[in-house]
Chains A and B, each alone.
Chain A
Amino acid sequence: MKTGLIIEDDDNNMVLITRLLGKAGYQTIQATNGSQGFEMALSQRPDFIILDIQLPDIDGTEVLRRIRNSEITRTIPVIAMTSYAMAGDRERLLNAGCDEYIEKPIDPQRAIAQIKRAIGDIQ
């Protein structure tokens, strides 16, 4: 069973993503800010990371940069999540090294499909 790290500051969204991944058959670990999230990524080495871009301490983009710059976490698939995506966010984030991009509000079935595709569970 694959384990996903969810880095998300909003409690409700955290619950939503957690349940969604649970229904899809994944284990989850949670971090509620950027620095905690990066530390957990280093220590727990999850199979994939769901990263909210709007975080209270450090920006999600910065967290992504750190993940990609670390030997330990470099290859972990990262799925970025934004609320009200700005034009160009999608390109910016994909260029910065995330594997998939999900816009809020989340469409559960579509989101699961996107995640599975990103981590290679479906083609």
Chain B
Amino acid sequence: MINHYMENMWSHLARQSKTSLFLTALILDLFIGSIDYASGRDVSVTILYLIPIFLAVWFAGRKEGVVISFICIVTSGTANYFLQLRYSTDIFLWNLFIAECSFLVFVALLAQLKKHILMKNMIVDELRKEIDEREKAKEALRESEHKYKSLFDTIHDGIFKSSSDGHFLLLNPAGASILGYSSAGEAIGQSAMKHWENPEDREHLIEILKNGGTVSSYPIKGRKRDGSPIIIELSATISADPKGEIGGFEGTFRDITERRQAEIALRESEDRFHNAFEYAAIGMALVAPDGRWLKVNKSLCSLSGYSEEELLTMTFQDITHPDDLSADLEFVHQILAKTILTYQMEKRYFHKSGRIVWILVSVSLIRDSQDNPLYFISQIEDITDRKRSEEELAQHRAHLEQMIETRTSELSTANKKLTELDRLKSMFIASMSHELRTPLNSIIGFTSMTLSGMSGELNEEQTDNLTRAHNSARHLLNLITDIIDISKIEAGRIEAFPETIALSEVVDDALTAVAPQLKDKGLTLEIDMAPDIRLVTDRKRLLQCLINFMSNAVKYSERGVITVSSRKVDKQVYLSVSDTGIGIAEKDMHRLFEPFERLETHLRVKAGGTGLGLYLTKKLVTDILMGQVSVRSVEGKGSTFSLMLPDDIRQA
């Protein structure tokens, strides 16, 4: 401590200006000179002169000490001179000389002493420093050892040292855990050989180590203690023994199984993605913002005719049709300006061969994390065929429109003709109605009159002849009547005349009409009617339908029963005529209500008929009476024809 203080003091004083020290010594000297004079040159006072000399030498330097010693002699001499002691000048000077010599000896001795002390201090300081440094180094080493030990125990990587024959000499806890040991202690002394999946890998590695000395991040397929596979990344070096022989190996390793699997998965994923891009059925490309192709796939090469190498030296502008370019560039501008996110357009490329390829391009832009445009992703579909089809279609359409125009005018002409024909047809029907019926009415009237015996008795043959003529005329009249009815229904010119009727009365009228034939054939009639059914309908048309059903029933039955039944359920009236006749074959059912269809049966000729009866009946029922017709039949057993009618056609 004292040394330290001295050192500080020393250096403090040393920093003071030598001039000020010198002045201090000088003032001290003058002060001592005045004491010397006052004391009358006492020898003991003379010793006091040594004080400023000491100060000068010790704190300033040897030269300053010499100067002060001379000043002291001058001061002392001056005091002596003014006292005028009895010394002669010679003795006076001699004394001064002796005194000066003594002072100089004092200065020399003092300087030597100071130098000696300083040297000693320096040596002590050096030693002390060295001791301090050693202490520090020891401390650092201790800390370092602690750190490394901690690192060794806690690091995730395995750290090992093994003998040249492959036994673990050292293994950290992480290493033990990676290799499947419960603790490092368990592994020490064990052979590491069993951790190699392929022992030749080890040979190979040792070869590398011998030649190059170290390996780093060297992947190895290994096995854990329990035999499960593991992939390890090894960094190792040879530790030579003092004799320079291979002493063993040391290094670090880490478990990269998961990382490697992730890498494999990533590579597979990348492969898949690459394949999806490369082998996509449509053209795909990455395009730089300035239009350079950065990556193109096979489909794009094949649709453009250029090889991948060629395309990569070109821009999309190079192969785009000039007429389509500005529209495309406008889209590019918009997508770069973020006005739009994606775009799609149809445009033309020039194939390498020079022909035009129509494409549909869909484009989106990829940006980096700072939002700067990186590249466009373009999907390019060859739509040449579609375009060609569209053009052909357009031509067809134009052609069709032309045809339609022609046809329309033709139709218009035809329509005029048809209108005229319709008028003629109406006239014809009206004419038929009157002109054909009038003579037929005559024939029927006269034959009836003659047959009734009013004009005198007829023999059998005459009666038969006249009956045939009469029946033929009736048949013809029925045919004409049916045709006129059908024509009118089809032309929508027949109207219903609704009136309130009792169903039983209409049935009675119908029975009256067919009674003679019924009687002739010896058929039984059964009536099964709900009482008092009244309905609002067209009486005449209903009667017409009913007569038709009943005369059919009679015509096509040779024996048995004709049954007429009726029911009323809610607002529906059901009326049916059943027979036990020949019935209708399943295959003929669909022809039943068609015009001019007469089914092939053994009764066909005998029964007669126009082939229009059921067709007309169905039309009357559906169009005029607002009802429905249905039929059930079993061939050989009989048929049932039914009507379903609304109870009031005005509300139907």
Contact = CB atoms under 8 A, between A and B. Distances in A.
Interface of A: 10, 12-13, 16, 19-20, 23, 54, 83-84, 87-88, 91, 104-109
B183 interface: no
A41 to B, nearest CB: 24
A12 B439 CA distance: 8
Contact of A106 (B433, B441, B496, B499): B441
A83 B434 contact: yes
Nearest to B438: A10
Interface string B410-454: 000000000000000000000001100111111011101100101
A109 B453 CA distance: 10
Interface in B440-476: 440-442, 444-446, 448-449, 452, 454-455, 473-474
B296 to A, nearest CB: 84
Interface string B518-550: 000000000000000000001111000000000
A10 B442 contact: yes
B484 A19 contact: no
A120 B515 CA distance: 28
Contact of A16 (B437, B449, B477, B496): B449
B481 interface: yes
Contacts of B540: 87-88
Interface of B: 433-434, 437-442, 444-446, 448-449, 452, 454-455, 473-474, 477, 481, 484, 495-497, 499, 538-541
A92 B322 CA distance: 86
Given A13-B438, A23-B449, 8 more contacts: A10-B442, A13-B445, A16-B445, A23-B454, A84-B434, A84-B484, A88-B540, A106-B444
A20 B438 contact: no
22 contacts: A10-B438, A12-B442, A13-B445, A16-B442, A20-B454, A83-B437, A84-B434, A87-B496, A87-B497, A87-B538, A87-B539, A87-B540, A91-B497, A91-B499, A104-B441, A105-B440, A105-B445, A105-B448, A106-B441, A106-B444, A106-B448, A109-B452
Contacts of B445: 12-13, 16, 104-106, 108
B518 to A, nearest CB: 18
Contacts of A20: 449, 454
B434 A54 contact: yes
Nearest to A103: B441
A23 B450 CA distance: 12
Contacts of B439: 12
Contacts of B539: 87
Contacts of B442: 10, 12-13, 16
Interface centre among B433, B473, B484, B497 (most CB of A within 10 A): B497
Contact of A105 (B444, B455, B496): B444
A83 B454 contact: no
Nearest to B624: A87
A10 B434 CA distance: 11
A104 B438 CA distance: 9
A106 to B, nearest CB: 5
B548 to A, nearest CB: 16
Contacts of B473: 105
A108 B452 contact: yes
Contacts of B477: 105
B481 A84 contact: yes
B419 to A, nearest CB: 25
B441 A108 contact: no
Contact of B448 (A23, A88, A91, A107): A107
**Which of A54, A84, A109 has the most B CB atoms < 10 Å from its CB?**
A84
A108 B448 contact: yes
B541 A87 contact: yes
A88 B499 CA distance: 10
A63 B164 CA distance: 146
Contacts of A10: 438, 442
A108 B442 CA distance: 12
A13 B538 CA distance: 30
A108 B454 CA distance: 9
A54 B541 CA distance: 22
B426 to A, nearest CB: 15
Most chain B CB atoms below 10 A, which of A104, A105, A109: A105
A83 B430 CA distance: 12
Contacts of B454: 19-20, 23, 108
Contacts of B538: 87
Contacts of B441: 13, 83, 104-106
A20 B477 CA distance: 22
A13 B441 CA distance: 8
Residue among B441, B454, B538 with most chain A CB within 10 A: B441
A73 B76 CA distance: 204
A23 B538 CA distance: 37
Contacts of A84: 433-434, 437, 481, 484
B476 to A, nearest CB: 11
